[in-house]
């Protein structure tokens, strides 16, 4: 019995680590993009609106990828789709280092976004279906903690590499995911829930209609609202952090260093959410961390001193990334195995529309002279709407058996 239990523990750890490392590389790219935007601004003489489009074009790709690959994962399996999306993402990242101008870079960001958008919801579905019920929520949040590690790596690379060797070298480093994909192919097993259910061939429109009918209507409405508001605020705030620090008068290198300090707070945010999610439940943890995010966003926008900026930035990282972990744990639990990846992917795809709007809105408002306090107040309101959706429409899924 003990040896069987030990095998289970090692298999569990290998799954979380294997998928988590892939997630780390993804986070490196997204986190590094905020620093790359600040770096290419001068090289390509970009204005605020063009800078905003760099973040938004990736979200367009992520919306396409989340829907397309989410549906595909219900047809051909979670593991196969994860490998495909890893390769798309890594090839696009490496190729972007060769971009000769704004248009080529934007095209490659669209490709990278498609791979990234497809991978994230499918990865959380695979982990949800592969671990015991009592560990499921915590496992997905711990998986999400690799995102914080990736952001931390991105901040370190951006602080030490970009100022000295340029942003192109930094982008090549994210392309190393392609090498990892070959290890991933051999080291990770297919979801047992997917294998037990046999081969399914869900169709897009039939699945979409099914998700908007009872008994999934409330869950779908809740997820689409929450995903849109969370992604809208996340990409609107975090992709602009280094640039916001520069616009507040700090140098590029100083801004990178300050954002690195803020990023460190993401890890304890994830670990706290992971500890609480099997104690408080999904709804309470998600709502609590979202409310903390709303308060920190308002405080960051109103901050005038460096100390206040750093404190509010760290609280923003702590609560927002903890909320992300809870959301990824909560989303796959809303649906049965036949439409689980499709439902999670569609919700994430709707969320990516928010990721398109957020960076563009910030760029437009900055160009129009709107204050940072007003800009971050908009994100605060969006997050409060997400909290209301969770509390009114959401149901608790802690301890629920997946099928």
| Cα 226 from Cα 400, distance rounded (Å) | 21
Sign of the CA dihedral running 327, 220, 85, 168: negative
What is the architecture of the domain spanning 7-185+211-393?
A: Up-down Bundle (1.20)
- CA gyration radius for the chain? 20
pLDDT of residue 199: 57
State yes or no: pLDDT of 290 exceeds 60.
yes
Least confident of 54-68, 257-271, 350-364: 257-271
The backbone torsions φ and ψ at residue 214, rounded to the nearest 5 degrees and listed phi first, read -55, 145
Residue partners of 362: CB distance under 8 A and separation at least 6: 52, 236, 240, 375
Least confident of 66-75, 95-104, 112-121, 252-261: 252-261
0.85 exceeded by pTM: no
Count of CB atoms situated within 10 Å of the CB of 389: 21
Residue 9 pLDDT grade (very low, low, confident, very high; cuts 50, 70, 90) = low
| Cα 385 from Cα 264, distance rounded (Å) | 27
Share of the chain above pLDDT 70, in %: 94
DSSP 3-state of 293: helix
| Cα 180 from Cα 159, distance rounded (Å) | 24
Each domain of the chain, given as residue ranges in start order, spans 7-185+211-393
The backbone torsions φ and ψ at residue 395, rounded to the nearest 5 degrees and listed phi first, read -125, 150
Which tens digits make up the pLDDT trace of 218-257?
999 999 999 999 999 988 887 777 777 777 777 665 766 7
Residue 4 pLDDT grade (very low, low, confident, very high; cuts 50, 70, 90) = very low
Could you tell me the two tokens for 388?
A: 């209301």
| Cα 308 from Cα 211, distance rounded (Å) | 44
- The residue that leads in pLDDT, 77 or 10, is 77
pLDDT of residue 252: 60
State yes or no: pLDDT of 92 exceeds 80.
yes
| Cα 401 from Cα 248, distance rounded (Å) | 50
Residue 27 contacts residue 154 (beta carbons within 8 Å): yes
Residue 7 pLDDT grade (very low, low, confident, very high; cuts 50, 70, 90) = very low
Residue 294 pLDDT grade (very low, low, confident, very high; cuts 50, 70, 90) = very high
Sign of the CA dihedral running 46, 50, 53, 57: negative
Count of CB atoms situated within 10 Å of the CB of 108: 22
Place of tokens 């104690």: 279
Count of CB atoms situated within 10 Å of the CB of 331: 28
**Average pLDDT estimate for 4-13:** 59
Which tens digits make up the pLDDT trace of 252-288?
657 667 777 887 888 899 889 989 999 999 999 999 9
Which tens digits make up the pLDDT trace of 21-40?
888 888 888 778 877 887 88
Helices and strands (DSSP H and E) totals, the chain: 18, 0
State yes or no: pLDDT of 86 exceeds 50.
yes
Residue 60 contacts residue 356 (beta carbons within 8 Å): yes
State yes or no: pLDDT of 197 exceeds 80.
no
Residue 365 contacts residue 375 (beta carbons within 8 Å): yes
State yes or no: pLDDT of 201 exceeds 50.
yes
Residue 233's closest CA among 373, 350, 376? 376
Cα first-last separation, the chain: 25
State yes or no: pLDDT of 388 exceeds 90.
yes
Mean of the per-residue pLDDT values of the chain: 86
């Amino acid at each position: 019995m003990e040896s069987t239990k030990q095998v289970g523990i090692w298999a569990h750890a290998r799954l979380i680590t294997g998928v988590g490392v892939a997630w780390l590389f993804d986070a490196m790219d997204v986190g590094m993009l905020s620093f790359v935007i600040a770096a290419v601004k001068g090289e390509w003489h970009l204005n605020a609106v063009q800078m905003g489009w760099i973040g938004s074009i990736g979200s367009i790709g992520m919306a396409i990828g989340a829907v397309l690959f989410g549906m595909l994962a219900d047809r051909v399996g979670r593991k196969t789709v994860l490998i495909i999306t890893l390769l798309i993402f890594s090839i696009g990242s490496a190729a972007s280092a060769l971009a000769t101008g704004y248009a080529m870079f934007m095209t490659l960001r669209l490709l990278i976004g498609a791979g990234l958008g497809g991978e994230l919801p499918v990865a959380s579905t695979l982990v949800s279906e592969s671990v015991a019920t009592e560990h499921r929520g915590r496992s997905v949040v711990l998986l999400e903690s690799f995102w914080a590690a990736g952001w931390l790596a991105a901040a370190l690379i951006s602080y030490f590499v970009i100022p000295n060797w340029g942003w192109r070298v930094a982008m090549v480093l994210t392309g190393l995911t392609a090498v990892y994909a070959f290890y991933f192919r051999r080291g990770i097993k297919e979801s047992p829930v997917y294998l037990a259910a046999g081969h399914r061939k869900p169709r897009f429109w039939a699945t979409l209609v099914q998700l908007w009918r009872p008994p999934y209507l409330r869950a779908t409405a809740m997820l689409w609202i929450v995903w849109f508001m969370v992604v809208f605020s996340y990409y609107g705030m975090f992709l602009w952090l280094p640039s916001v620090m520069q616009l507040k008068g700090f140098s590029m290198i100083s801004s990178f260093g300050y954002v690195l300090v803020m990023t460190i707070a993401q890890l304890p945010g994830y670990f706290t959410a992971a500890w609480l999610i099997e104690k408080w439940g999904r709804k309470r943890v998600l709502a609590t961390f979202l409310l903390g995010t709303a308060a920190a966003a308002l405080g960051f926008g109103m901050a005038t001193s460096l100390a206040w900026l750093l404190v509010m930035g760290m609280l923003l990282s702590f609560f927002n990334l903890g909320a992300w972990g809870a959301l990824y744990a909560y989303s796959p639990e809303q649906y049965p195995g036949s439409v689980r990846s499709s439902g999670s992917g569609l919700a994430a795809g709707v969320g990516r529309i928010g990721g398109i709007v957020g960076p563009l809105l910030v760029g437009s408002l900055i160009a129009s002279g709107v204050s940072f306090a007003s800009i971050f107040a908009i994100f605060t309101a969006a997050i409060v709407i997400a909290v209301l959706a969770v509390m009114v429409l959401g149901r608790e899924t802690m301890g629920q058996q997946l099928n």
